[in-house]
Structure 1
Amino acid sequence: MTMWFIDQDALKRPVYLSLADQINRAISDGRLADGTRLPPHRVLADSLKLSVQTVSRAYEELIRRGLLSGETGRGTFVRREEPVGQLPYIPERLGEVIDLSILKPVCETMHLDRMKAALAGLSADLPPSVALSFRPNVIFPRHRAVAADWLRLCGLDVSPHNVCLTNGATAGMTIALMSVAQTGGVVATEAIGHHTLTPLAAYLGLKLAAVEIDDDGIVPEALDALCRAEGVRAVFVQPSGINPTAVVMSAERREAIAAVARAHDLAIIENDGLGPLIEGRPPPLAAFAPERTLYVTSFTKIVMPGLRTGYLAVPDRMLAAVTNRHLVTNWIATPLIAEIATRWVADGTAMELVRWQRGALRRRQAVAAQMLVGIPYRAHAEGLHAWIPLDSRAAEDLFVAQARLRGVAVAPGRSFQTGAAEQPAVRISLGSTTEEELRAGLRIVTNLIHSDPEPLLLAI
């Protein structure tokens, strides 16, 4: 058992969180090595004159962060292995934390009222097939036709026959990956990319290969070189503002990526979680390479979080594989939620809420520009977040820990890293809380950056 120095005078309320952050820093800077056994709860509590409950909550918080593991009968240890894919956000809101870590659209009472009205409408004229059928081809013909209308708003012209209804983007990603790559296959993706892709690929037995990115997204020459060096089967890409660095890829870059994919016979999985939200963006990659692109979009980030349904547009040659994978993993999308989405697309409610969201995010981005003045960061005027590059991994760990200690949760850049190269940064969600809390959280972020004696920022 190893004891280490805890600065008792630096413990602040909530004490359990402050204690957890000190242990976190000790792990990050190497004072607590992997495999180190921590003091029993009571021993540490007595030495610091704290309650056993406080120490227990601190240990539980560190277990939740993936830094400790409890072994029955042996004790609590620093986790020996990095978890596969760290969550960039806190899974639940604790106490008075201003949560700028989870990527959410702006939501107001109006959204809840719309959902209540939709549910009331369903109670009045629910189609029998939505409640009573097991068969997708019985339930969803009308939904697929409406989905094709929505996809045209996203810039994609596709037959209803080629649309698969899913339970959101994650389900669409899973089905697409299973359809284009077998166990052991290599999937290329952005060096800073989707936070769930790393664990998802690991669970599916796929190998991720990180591709260099620049201010326009994936570098085509880097993707080409990777394909020549390894047997890449597919490329997963987020070209339209949902990616952590807020890049909206140019039409020229999309054409270049499509050309590399054709040259190496790659499947393209395009995650377009913002759909028609960003005005004036180029057409999807699927429009440049329709014969090989599986296009994923959903409503959770642009309409409301509870509308957990989406669309997967599929080329003819992959349709059978996608249909089979969908059946064995989900069977069908949840009919009730899909029915609400279909009605909202058909009557214009969905696009009305997208336009509302666009305006709300423009206002939130204006708040960010005002509060983060003098701080180099990346964002899109209609995007959900801001990306602040930092100068080192130590700066990132310190920033996240200190922000949390001051009552603000932000997402660490390491959660989005798919390659070995370090890309220290933090992601700030702008839609996850009220505008008042957003201002307060950004004020803390700004003060933290400007008050630290060590350099934190990396000039863009």
Structure 2
Amino acid sequence: MRPPSYRRIADELAAAIRTGAIPAGARLPTHRDLARERRIALATATRVYAELAAMGLVTGEPGRGTFVRHRSGYDGPEPSRALPVPRVADLSFNQPLAPDQGDRLRTALRTLSTSGEVESLLRQHPPGGRSGDRAVVAAYLIGRGIDVAPANVLLTGGTQQALDVTLRALTRPGDVLAVDALSYPGIRLLAAAQGLDLAPVPVTAAGPDLAALDRLCRTRPVRAIYTIPTVHNPLGWVLDRERRAGLVAVARAADCVIIEDGTYAFLEAAPPPPLQALAPERTCYVAGLSKNVATGLRFGFAVVPDRHVQAVTRSLRAAAWSVPALVTALATGWITDGTVEELERARREDAAARQGIARDALAGMDVVAHPASYIVWLGLEPHQRPDHVAAVLAEEGILVSTSDAFATGPHRPRALRLALGTPPLDGLASALHRLRRTVEAIPP
């Protein structure tokens, strides 16, 4: 069967872009001009450009037109991390480590090697973890304002797996998942893999637009709401009590599940109560030890309401059965002896110091950030496209993330996300000053 006209034209333009016949940065004809040139309807021309945008080949800028994206590999949800020049700074991914964490690991491994239960580390743990290990995490979560029985805590191989198994258990392909218009990139990957329909909710400076969320839930069958209420990634907000209560009210009225991501919540020293505490009957809380301890320690957890425990446990069994016993022993040991709490305090101090450096280095630029987080959202000038800026910075040895990675809907803001947690503290200021000089030197 002959493909529809929009598909034929989109494929033709895509081939020209990929071969370089239409170069990066080129402005494409307006929708009306394309319709006239190709003798197609305006709606068909619009669909052509939508198809090219979905392929990651073009970007539309309101009031300026449609441009061919720089395909250097330094923008989008899965950018290349191989730079064309020696690396100056990786501002694309947070991997904070304390100076003594290697020594801590050696000590912990020596302790495990001499423990009486060392052979138990070679045995298979049950899905969701052993009851004693779950009890350790349940006790730790009291410090986050979550008071649940160990049976409601399921151990996972990191926060991403906690999200994965929870979504698989509680949704079906085609279900609508409400999510902030700018959010953690991993939720897009999971939604695509599981066939979920992402419904972006407009964001404000203080959090998601709750009126828009309410309208969405009244007009569409929203199955679940994914949200990051405490130290949002990438915008850094901490929802106040009133907004948390409002979000819970919307979810209850629509009978939605709430999936609360607490990955960066430890960075807020005195947060409002988590959504799980406000709506325990419908909230699944997911987090882990990647940002507060180490990214290589793939240990996470899902706090699940009674009615969903069996379904999420089955999903976890199908995905990976259980967390490796050695990882569980390390994680629960560090929770029990106070190492995690100590590292979280150190992380808060480190993140606040890095934000102070960023405020000084980027003063006067369009910056949005939590005062004690590892993330900066940097707005660009009207003439600067994120993909082009990322490519220019890559030539300077600086890796960044573009707004494309965080956008859950068609609107891609003109912005970059800077991750402050990986560069050495004593080199962060010079890296940010170099970034600033490079960005400001990009001409219209």
TM over 0.5: yes
CA distance in 2, matches of 1:24, 1:414: 24
3-state SS of paired residue (1:381): coil
Encode CA deviations 1:435-455: one digit per residue, 9 max, x unaligned: 23322220122112333343x
Q: Which aligned pairs between 1:239-254 and structure 2 lie closer than 5 A? A: 239-254=229-244
Aligned letter for 1:26? P
CA distance in 2, matches of 1:189, 1:175: 18
Change (3 A) 1:328 1:452: same
Following TM superposition, by how much is the alpha carbon of 1:418 offset from its aligned partner in structure 2, in angstroms? Answer: 0.1
CA distance in 2, matches of 1:24, 1:328: 47
Encode CA deviations 1:339-364: one digit per residue, 9 max, x unaligned: 11101111101100111111111111
CA distance in 2, matches of 1:234, 1:143: 29
The equivalent of 1:26 in structure 2 is 23
Q: Which aligned pairs between 1:321-336 and structure 2 lie closer than 5 A? A: 321-336=311-326
User: Paired residue for 1:127, among 117, 136, 148?
Assistant: 117
Encode CA deviations 1:45-73: one digit per residue, 9 max, x unaligned: xxxxxxxxxxxxxxxxxxxx9879xxxxx
CA distance in 2, matches of 1:193, 1:157: 27
Following TM superposition, by how much is the alpha carbon of 1:154 offset from its aligned partner in structure 2, in angstroms? Answer: 1.5
Following TM superposition, by how much is the alpha carbon of 1:137 offset from its aligned partner in structure 2, in angstroms? Answer: 7.0
CA distance in 2, matches of 1:94, 1:348: 43
User: Paired residue for 1:422, among 398, 403, 412?
Assistant: 412
CA distance in 2, matches of 1:313, 1:269: 10
3-state SS of paired residue (1:189): strand
In structure 2, runs of 5+ residues without a counterpart are 1-11, 30-54, 59-67
CA distance in 1, matches of 2:82, 2:156: 25
Encode CA deviations 1:81-133: one digit per residue, 9 max, x unaligned: 9x9x9435544677522343333243243111111211121111162564243
Q: Report if the CA contact (8 A) 1:93-1:99 is conserved.
A: no
The equivalent of 2:346 in structure 1 is 356
The equivalent of 1:433 in structure 2 is 423
User: Paired residue for 2:192, among 202, 205, 209?
Assistant: 202
Change (3 A) 1:248 1:138: closer
Identity of aligned residues (%): 32
CA distance in 1, matches of 2:22, 2:395: 12
Change (3 A) 1:222 1:384: same
Q: Which aligned pairs between 1:36-75 and structure 2 lie closer than 5 A? A: none
CA distance in 1, matches of 2:142, 2:119: 27
3-state SS of paired residue (1:324): helix
Following TM superposition, by how much is the alpha carbon of 1:25 offset from its aligned partner in structure 2, in angstroms? Answer: 10
3-state SS of paired residue (1:328): helix
Could you say which structure has the greater relative contact order, defined with CA pairs below 8 angstroms and 6 or more residues apart? 2
The equivalent of 1:274 in structure 2 is 264
Q: Report if the CA contact (8 A) 1:105-1:303 is conserved.
A: no
CA distance in 2, matches of 1:317, 1:24: 57
Aligned letter for 1:195? P
CA distance in 2, matches of 1:24, 1:394: 23
Greater shift, 439-448 or 286-295, is seen at: 439-448
Encode CA deviations 1:405-457: one digit per residue, 9 max, x unaligned: 11111100111000112322101111111123322220122112333343xxx
CA distance in 2, matches of 1:24, 1:216: 44
The equivalent of 1:264 in structure 2 is 254
CA distance in 1, matches of 2:396, 2:354: 22
Instruction: State how many pairs are aligned.
Output: 392
User: Paired residue for 2:282, among 286, 289, 292?
Assistant: 292
User: Paired residue for 1:400, among 390, 395, 399?
Assistant: 390
Encode CA deviations 1:250-274: one digit per residue, 9 max, x unaligned: 1111110000000000001111102
TM (normalized to structure 1)?
A: 0.79
CA distance in 2, matches of 1:109, 1:397: 34
Following TM superposition, by how much is the alpha carbon of 1:377 offset from its aligned partner in structure 2, in angstroms? Answer: 0.2
TM (normalized to structure 2)?
A: 0.81
Q: Report if the CA contact (8 A) 1:258-1:285 is conserved.
A: yes
Query: Alignment RMSD, CA only?
Result: 3.0
User: Paired residue for 2:149, among 151, 159, 164?
Assistant: 159
Q: Report if the CA contact (8 A) 2:128-2:154 is conserved.
A: no
3-state SS of paired residue (1:164): strand
The equivalent of 1:184 in structure 2 is 174
Aligned letter for 2:111? G
The equivalent of 2:359 in structure 1 is 369
The equivalent of 2:137 in structure 1 is 147
User: Paired residue for 1:381, among 371, 376, 380?
Assistant: 371
